[in-house]
Structure formats: C-alpha cells, structure tokens
Amino acid sequence: PKLVYDFTEGNKDMKELLGGKGANLAEMTNLGLPVPPGFTISAEACKVFLATGSVPPELADEIDHHVSALEQKMGKKLGQADDPLLVSVRSGAAVSMPGMMETVLNVGLNDDSVNGLAHQSGNPRFAWDAYRRLIQMFGKTVLGMEGDVFEDAIEAAKKAKGTKNDLDLDADDLQALVKNFKAAVKQHTGRDFPQDPREQMDLAIEAVFGSWNAERAILYRRQERIATDLGTAVNICSMVFGNLGMDSGTGVAFTRDPSSGQPGVYGDYLQNAQGEDVVAGIRNTVPLADLEQIDRLSYDNLMEIMATLEGHYRDLCDIEFTVERGKLWMLQTRVGKRTAGAAFRIATSLIDEGMIDIDEALKRVKGAQLAQLMFPRFDTDADRDLVTKGIGASPGAASGKVVFTSAAAVEAAGKGEKVILVRRETNPDDLHGMIAAQGILTSRGGKTSHAAVVARGMGKTCVCGAEELDVEVAAGRIKVHGTTISAGDVISIDGTTGEVFLGEVPVVPSPVVQYFEGSLAPDAGDELVAAVHRLITHADEIRRLGVRTNADTAEDADRARRFGAEGIGLCRTEHMFLGERREAVERLILADDDAEREAALAELEPLQRGDFLELLAAMDGLPVTIRLIDPPLHEFLPSMEELAVKVALAEERGEDAGRDKVLLAAVERLHEQNPMLGLRGVRLGLVVPGLFAMQVRAIASAAAELRGQGKDPRPEIMIPLVGAIQELQLARDEVEGVLREVTETEGVEWNTPIGTMIELPRAAVIADQIAEAADFFSFGTNDLTQTTWGFSRDDVEGSFFSRYLEKGIFAVSPFESIDRDGVGALVRTGVEKGRAAKPDLKLGICGEHGGDPDSIHFFDEVGLDYVSCSPFRLPVARLEAGRATL
C-alpha cells in the first residue's frame, strides 16, 4: 500500500492515516489556501518502524519520488548549495498530543548551503539564524542532546554582547554560535553534524517516529486514554520564513475566543521570528489585532482565510501561520480546544450563524463540561497564597475553617460557619461532616477514593491525595512545608486544579446553577445560561431515557425537582434508623421476645411515617422508589472497640457496665467477617420479623394520609439484594399483606408497584425468574460491580486501584464508569431476560453510574427506561441522555 501522500492527495477525513496535521494541511491545500507544498508519510510506516525498528524498505523510493516532485514544484533542490530547498520534518498523530512529539525545521542546510541561502536571500543573519536553529532542533530531537547545551550557549552569546534580545545577535554572532553548536554535537555524540540533506531528513523522520514512544508521550496517552498503537505520521513541508526581517513574522490565531466563545480576533504575533518562538516566550508577542497596523494586506488575507476555515469546518479553528516578506502562509489548522463555557456558547452561536443544526450543537457539548459550569469558582484576579497541590477530585471553589472531624463540621455548620473537612481519608462515617462542610480535603487517595466519589455525587468540592499535607487529626493540625495550619484557620481549595490556599479566596457564583435553581431566567441576559438552556431543552425533547434522582429527604427531593427529576429512583431508608432513633434500633436488636421487638418497631413506625409524608409530598405526582432497609443491623450499633473499652474501664473501676455490656455481647454476636456479603438486604427482612412490615406500613399509611389530602403520592417498594426468586416472593407476600391491611384500615385503594434491585450476578442471570415476582427492576450497579469483580469498594479504591489504572487493567475505575464487558453484560442479560418474561417490566438504574456520561450512553443502548442519579448530576444526565440518542 501507498505510504506517502502529497498534500494535494489527502483530506481532513484521513486523520488516521495522515495524522491530524497532515490531513488538515491537505484539506487547506485543496481549499486553495496558501500552504507551502509538501507531503505526508503515513502513520502506517510509523507502525512498521515501531514494530521492527526500521522503516518499511519501500519507503525510501516513495520518498525519493515525492522529494523530486517537490523539487520540481519549488524550482530548487533539497539542500542545493547555491539556492537550497529547505523543509520541516513535522510530527502529527491522529489525536492531537500538544507538545508531546517533535519537529525539526530548516532541514537541508549545511556548511555550503547556508552560504547559498545567505546570498540568495541577501540576508546572512537570517541564513545563520536558520542554520543554528536546525542544529539546535536536530541535536535535541534526533541526537538526544540536552536542550540546555544550546540554550546556555545562546545566553552566553547574548551576555557577551550585553543584550537580552536575540535580535541583537548579528550574522557573525550566529555564525560563531553555529561553530559552537557543531562542536557540541561532535563532543556529545562523537560524530559530526550530518551534512547530507537527505541523511538529515531520513534521521529526522525516524526520530519523529521514535518520539511516539517517548516517556512523556506514553504518559500523556495514558492520561488522555489515547490508544497506544496509533503511531504518528510525518509531514515534510517546504519552509517559509518568518525570520527574514521585520516584514516577516509568525503567529497563532483562533477564529473565536477559546475561553469565552465570543467572536473576534484572538491570537499572538511575533515579527522576525520562526516557529516555536511565539509560544516559547523569547520575546513579547503582540496581540494579533496589531498585525492590521504592521501588515494590512497579510492581516486582511488572514481574516478572510479564518472565515473560510470556520465556514468549512463549521467550528472554532486554531491556526499557525507565517508571514514571509509580506506574503501569508498557512502552516496548520485544527478544530480548537475550548473551555466548557466556550463550548456551549460556540455551539449555539453556530446554530444562529446557520452553520450547524441543533442536533449537531448538542453533540458538541459534553456532560462533563456542563458539570464544570455548575461549580462556583475562585476569582483568579484575587491575591492567593498557595500552600500545596493535590488532585482535583470534584470541581468547585470552597473556603472555610479547617475542621478535622465530622462532629466538628456539623457543629460549626450548625452555627452557620463555613468549614473545610480535612482528613487523611474519609469513610462512610464522615458523611454528615461532608454534607455540613463546604469542601473536603484529604491527604490520601485518588479520584476514586471515598471522599472523591461521595463529593462528586453531592456536587461538593473536593481535593484529595494532597500528599504533602501531614494531617494530625488528634493534635488538630496540619503540617506542610514548615507551615502549621490549625483547626479554625481558614483555607481555600480548588476542586478543579487541586490547589490549596491559605485564607479565604473570593469566589464567583455559577450563573448556570442559579438558572437550574430557578433564580436566574434563561433570557435574563447571561449568554452562557441562554446557551445551556437552549441545549438542555433540546436534550429533554429528544431523550428516550427518563431521569430520576437518588434522594432520601424532602429537601433533596425539592432541589432535584427543580433540576429536572422525574421521580426518585432510589430513596435509601437507612438514615431513618439513625440519630435519636438509635435507641429504639438498639432495643429492636436486643429484644429478647416478640413483645419487646414489636414495641421497638412500634416506636420507629410513626417517625418513619413522618419522613415518608414529607418525601412523598415533595415528590407529589411523581414515582418514589423506596428501598427497604439494606445495611446490616450492627452498623447501627456503637463500634465493638469502643464498647469493649468502655466495658473494660467500667469493670476495672469495679462498676457495673450494664447496658454497654449487653450491647457489646450483641455486637459480638452480630459481628461479620464480610458485612458486605452478610446479613443485609432482603436477608434482614426475612430474618428479623416485622422489620420490613413496619417500613411498608409507614410508607402506605403516609401515602394514604396524603391521598386523603387530595395529593397524588406514588410510592414504589423496592427489595434490596435479592438473589433467588424465593427470597423476593416471600418478601413480596409480606409487603402485599401489609398493603392490604392498610387499604382496609384506611379505606383507600391503589396500586403500589413492588420490585427489586438487581445487584447480584445471580439475580441478573435468572432475571426471567425474578421478573415473575417483580413489577420493576432497578440495577444497583454499585453493588453489582462489587459482587461481579469481587471488589470491596471501600477497601480497594484507596489501595491498589491507582496501580491497576497505571498498568492499564482498566482505563477508569469500574465504580466510576460502567464496565461494559462484565457488569454491563450482566445488566444486558437482566434486561433481556426480564423483558422476555414480562414485557412491561419497568427498568432503571440507581448506582453511581446513573450520573456518568459514558454509562448513560450504555444504559440508553441497552434500553433501560430511566437512570437515577444524585440531584446535582441531573442536568448532566438530562444532557447526556439527549446526546445518547444522536
């Protein structure tokens, strides 16, 4: 197959073969734009090189052929002594990896042709500048020399001359530098700088191929989840020169502002400069708009070309260009990266400009970008005192007093104070503190640690893994770089960048959240809000998936409704057993006989009924899926260690440990090696008489009361952790019995759906059987992931997951994004078997994955009816559910 393509032979859709740069150079060439002629060696040749260590044998001939054609077109020969054709050898992979790979400019110069170039251009300074650049880039890229060798020499030359400006180095200085550089090459590599132009070119090509596997490129690909085997193409492009004098220059430009999305002239320009000089910051660039004064003709020409490119790509483009003695040349373009805000504004602007339709606009924005727009931000203009940097785990900007315990967080928040909860790591006990805090800072754990996952779910700012922090919880202080931060000191954390600041940094609130909260109208003049409104409205219109929320309280339910929830997909009832109710729960667990147990349950029932009244009222008219109690009962008792100490102390003092002793015995009796796999879920309901019945009575009577008030409560009862049809059938019989009872006593009749969570592999595999006794399934993908992989989420994420990610065992934690092949296959099986047995079975998902964009696309694909996620993720879920249909 063909390995080399002239720029006239390719187009923008050939990225895989020609790389992004090559494909777009070809596209611009064919649009008739001024691109210096050249050709592209395909990524296929690179793949061969990487696999075998040498380029395919037929490559040399093909390159010969294209070099001759190029020489003919340009009317000069590569490196020809009196008037040399010079080329750049440029890397360019299918996926943009900015700054990761290498480029060599001015290939073809040698000790002879540098004189030809000097004579031909009438500008010896330029020729020697070009030659020293070639040796410098070649030395670094091809010969593997340290850049400092060259940079130090340039610095020394400038110092000797008494200047800081590279333009003050004249032809003689640069000629001396070349001599210097060549000596350095000889010294470092033991051979002379190659004088044969074609040898220079071939070595540069191989170096570019090899740079695919440079350490930083590998790291970058791992982080950005780019495939490891794509290889890079190489572009051979005839040189144009921005360093010929002040009538020449080089620049970068955007067709609109990549940070705000606004139309206008954005970019930087540098006179008398080449290539990387613009971004390298060797001299101060001028704003692109100034080019209008400097060179009106080139400026007008550039504006015209940028309009052409935008119209052609129908998107924001970024551009590299060079002006050579008043003539404009295009060196690169691509659809440009942009901020989240710019993505929304550009997408909707392009609809108005008639370039794309609204479906296309929706495709171009992502849930992750919307999520970013929902967090308040630090004012970057403010004074900030940076102390350390961790991992930005959950975006946002939070300031508050440092607290080290959940209790302290709750107490301070109760007084209306803002706090940052600082811990080595968090665990489920810290939930109250996390809720009370403005933000969470941990010194251990990565993006999938407990703190990170929970914070993201709650939409709470979190920085984790700030390893430089020495968190001494007992002493109530943090030590970092010789600074001590004590409880009560104010700090600020940036959940996007991972930065930690001393003191309070002012924030700017997110207008997008104000819009979702209903306090900012979409047409109030904020363009970003208008854009978000427009695209999310469209997503709502076209999405097939319903969107529900995970909420346990009326307050969450209220917010979720404003954020677009169409019901509750998961109400956990655990919290209804906590707080002041603990004592009743203890009595329930310690009960010696039926009477004591029933008394304890009778005490809990009205309290839970009150909770359900509020929740069902808040979600009036919408379905509320209530999961009966799931965690093992001993989680509601004090810790074994704590009790053991108390009892031991009491006995030492010769006192009667009394109740503590009884409690300790119960905890010891209930203790489990693997609580996650122990007495929980439906098993509890079947073993503890009256427990499920109490909850169902509380639900049904609350619903009956609301009906009496003319409301429309729609509870759905969900049985957790079912693995066998018998379990579900037994639980269902009990639930139905209670529902019948309540119907009789309250005199109201209605149909309450009864369903189950599918969170054990066995349940997914026998979903056809389970469906017989279920009105709905809700896939509990958190537990299903734990039980399918055999991972305990609380244990593995902080320990070996980071190494699993490094080793590429998975690209993302399976708790964050659904593992399609394994857990996903079980979901698919559950859907297919469930629906085969019962076509009108309602199917949803209520794990952490319900708010994850990739997972949402998967759930749409397998045909679920709805996803359920935390209130703060609802806008993301709505947007992605819409995008999933495109």
Classify each residue of 708-718 as buried b or exposed e, where b means 16 or more C-beta atoms within 10 Å of its C-beta: eeeeebbbbbb
Binding site partner of 631, from ligand ADP, Mg ion, none, Cβ cut-off 5-8 A by kind: none
Name the binder of 433 from Mg ion, ligand ADP, none, CB < 5-8 A by kind: none
Residue 671 catalytic? no
CB of 142 to ligand ADP, least distance (A): 15
**Segment contacting ligand ADP by CB under 6 A, of 236-244, 253-261, 514-522, 794-802:** 236-244
Tell me which of 462, 464, 571, 846 is the catalytic residue: 846
Q: Which of 66, 450, 533, 857 is catalytic?
A: 450
Annotate 206-245 with b (16+ C-beta within 10 A) or e (fewer).
Answer: bbbbbbbeeeebeebbeeeebeeebbbbbbbbbbbbbbbb
665 three-state secondary structure: helix
Residue 240 in the binding site for ligand ADP (CB under 6 A): yes
d(CA 695, CA 705): 15
Query: Three-class SS of residue 402?
Result: strand
**Residue 322 touches which of Mg ion, ligand ADP, none (CB < 5 to 8 A by kind)?**
ligand ADP
User: From CA 169, how far away is CA 469, in angstroms rounded?
Assistant: 48
Answer for the pair 309, 355: CB distance below 8 angstroms, yes or no.
no
Stretch that binds Mg ion, among 231-239, 319-327, 364-372, 535-543 (CB under 5 A): 319-327
Q: Strands (DSSP E) along 591-711, which ranges?
A: 623-627
Cβ atoms < 10 Å from Cβ of 852: 27
Assigned token pair, 255: 């067709």
339 token code pair:
């901020």
User: Phi then psi for 867, rounded to 5 degrees?
Assistant: -115, 150
Q: Which of 197, 208, 217, 202 is nearest to 43 (CA)?
A: 208
Taking CB under 6 A as the criterion, which residues in 323-342 touch ligand ADP? 331-332
Number of residues that bind ligand ADP (CB under 6 A): 16
Q: How far is the CB of 783 from Mg ion (least distance, A)?
A: 3
Judge contact between 249 and 322, C-beta under 8 A.
yes
Q: Is 93 in the site for ligand ADP (CB under 6 A)?
A: no
- Judged by beta carbon distances under 5 to 8 A according to partner kind, the member of Mg ion, ligand ADP, none in contact with residue 90 is ligand ADP
Contact between 322 and 241 (Cβ < 8 Å)? yes
Name which of residues 291 to 320 contact ligand ADP (CB under 6 A): 320
Q: Which is nearer to Mg ion, 206 or 759 (CB)?
A: 759
In whole angstroms, the minimum distance from the beta carbon of 240 to ligand ADP comes to 5
Return the residue of 276, 417, 603, 854 that touches ligand ADP, per CB under 6 A.
276
> Cβ closer to ligand ADP: 332 or 448?
332
Query: Among ligand ADP, Mg ion, none, what binds residue 395 when CB lies within 5 to 8 Å by partner kind?
Result: none
Which partner in Mg ion, ligand ADP, none is near 759 (CB below 5 to 8 A by kind)? Mg ion
- Decide: 438 and 409 in contact? Cβ < 8 Å: no
Stretch that binds ligand ADP, among 99-107, 309-317, 521-529, 804-812 (CB under 6 A): 99-107
Among 322, 426, 510, 817, interactor with ligand ADP by CB under 6 A: 322
Residue 457 binds to ligand ADP (criterion: CB under 6 A):
no
Among 780, 850, 851, 875, binds Mg ion (CB under 5 A): 780
Residue 141 binding partner per list Mg ion, ligand ADP, none, with a CB distance cut-off of 5 to 8 Å that depends on partner kind: none
Separation in Å, CA 26 to CA 8, 9, 307: 6, 7, 18
CB of 859 to Mg ion, least distance (A): 17
> Which strand (E) or helix (H) includes residue 397?
strand 397-403
Question: 412 or 568, CB closer to Mg ion?
Answer: 568
**Could you tell me if 634 and 675 are in contact, meaning their C-beta atoms sit under 8 angstroms apart?**
yes
Whole-angstrom distance, CA of residue 599 vs CA of residue 272:
89
Which partner from the list ligand ADP, Mg ion, none does 123 bind, CB cut-off 5 to 8 Å by kind?
none
In terms of CB distance, is 272 or 786 closer to Mg ion?
786
Stretch that binds ligand ADP, among 118-126, 186-194, 235-243, 722-730 (CB under 6 A): 235-243
Q: With respect to ligand ADP, which residue has the nearer C-beta, 205 or 560? A: 205
Residues 547-576 that bind ligand ADP (CB under 6 A): none
Closer CB to ligand ADP, 321 or 801, in the complex: 321
The alpha carbon of 386 is separated from its chain's Cα centroid by a whole number of angstroms, namely 24
Min separation Cβ 209 and ligand ADP, Å: 14
Instruction: Using CB under 5 A, count the residues that bind Mg ion.
Output: 5
Read off the tokens for 565: 């929830």
With contact defined as beta carbons under 8 Å apart, do 324 and 241 qualify?
Answer: yes
Q: Which is nearer to ligand ADP, 273 or 784 (CB)?
A: 273
* Binder of ligand ADP out of 29, 80, 88, 781 (CB under 6 A): 88
Q: Of 239, 323, 441, 664, which one interacts with ligand ADP (CB under 6 A)?
A: 239
- Classify residue 399 by burial, with Cβ atoms within 10 Å: 0-12, 13-18, 19+: buried
The neighbour count for residue 271, using CB atoms within 10 Å, is 22
Beta strands in 665-739 (DSSP E): 714-719
Taking the least distance from each CB to ligand ADP, the nearer of 99 and 281 is: 99
DSSP 722-736: --SHHHHHHHHHHHH
Residue by residue, DSSP assigns 671-696 as: --S-GGGSS-THHHHHHSTTHHHHHH
Which option in Mg ion, ligand ADP, none does residue 27 bind, with CB closer than 5 to 8 A by kind? none
Clarify whether 869 is annotated catalytic.
Answer: no
- Residue of minimal Cβ distance to Mg ion: 783
Which of these, 856, 847, 850, lies nearest to 880 by C-alpha position?
856
295 binds, among ligand ADP, Mg ion, none (CB under 5 to 8 A by kind): none
CA–CA separation, 203 and 198 (whole Å)? 9
Stretch that binds Mg ion, among 337-345, 778-786, 792-800, 867-875 (CB under 5 A): 778-786
**Whole-number minimum distance, CB 630 to Mg ion, in Å?**
6
Distance CA 684, CA 601 (A): 14
The residues facing 779 across adjacent strands are 758, 845
Q: For Mg ion, which residue of 27, 759, 775, 880 counts as binding (CB under 5 A)?
A: 759
Contact status: 332 vs Mg ion (CB under 5 A) = yes
User: What is the spatial distance between Cα 549 and Cα 561, in angstroms, rounded to a whole number?
Assistant: 9
Task: CB nearer to ligand ADP: give 28 or 728.
Answer: 28
Instruction: Judge contact between 300 and 328, C-beta under 8 A.
Output: no
Instruction: Please pick, from the candidates 201, 237, 760, 771, the single residue that binds ligand ADP as defined by CB under 6 A.
Output: 237
Q: By CB under 6 A, what part of segment 15-74 binds ligand ADP?
A: 36
| Cβ nearer to Mg ion, comparing 249 with 780 | 780
Out of 24, 29, 40, 103, the only residue in the binding site for ligand ADP (CB under 6 A) is: 103
Which tokens is 496 given?
Answer: 């996007």
Q: How far is the CB of 846 from Mg ion (least distance, A)?
A: 9
Question: Looking only at Cα atoms, what is the longest distance across the chain?
Answer: 108
Measured from the CB atom, the residue of 69 and 407 that comes closer to ligand ADP is 69
Burial 552-570 (b: 16+ CB within 10 A, else e): bebebbebbbebbbbbbbb
User: Quick check: 205 binds ligand ADP (CB under 6 A)?
Assistant: no
Q: Which residues face 391 on adjacent strands?
A: 464
**Which listed option, ligand ADP, Mg ion, none, makes contact with residue 211 (CB within 5 to 8 Å by class)?**
none
* Binds 752: which of Mg ion, ligand ADP, none (CB < 5-8 Å by kind): none
- Residue 871 tokens, joined: 């209130």
3-state DSSP call for residue 586? helix
Count helices and strands in the chain by DSSP H and E runs: 36, 31
CB of 180 to Mg ion, least distance (A): 28
Catalytically active residues are: 450, 846
**Site residues for Mg ion per CB under 5 A:** 320, 332, 759, 780, 783
Interacting residues with ligand ADP (CB under 6 A):
36, 88, 90, 99, 103, 105, 237-240, 275-276, 320, 322, 331-332
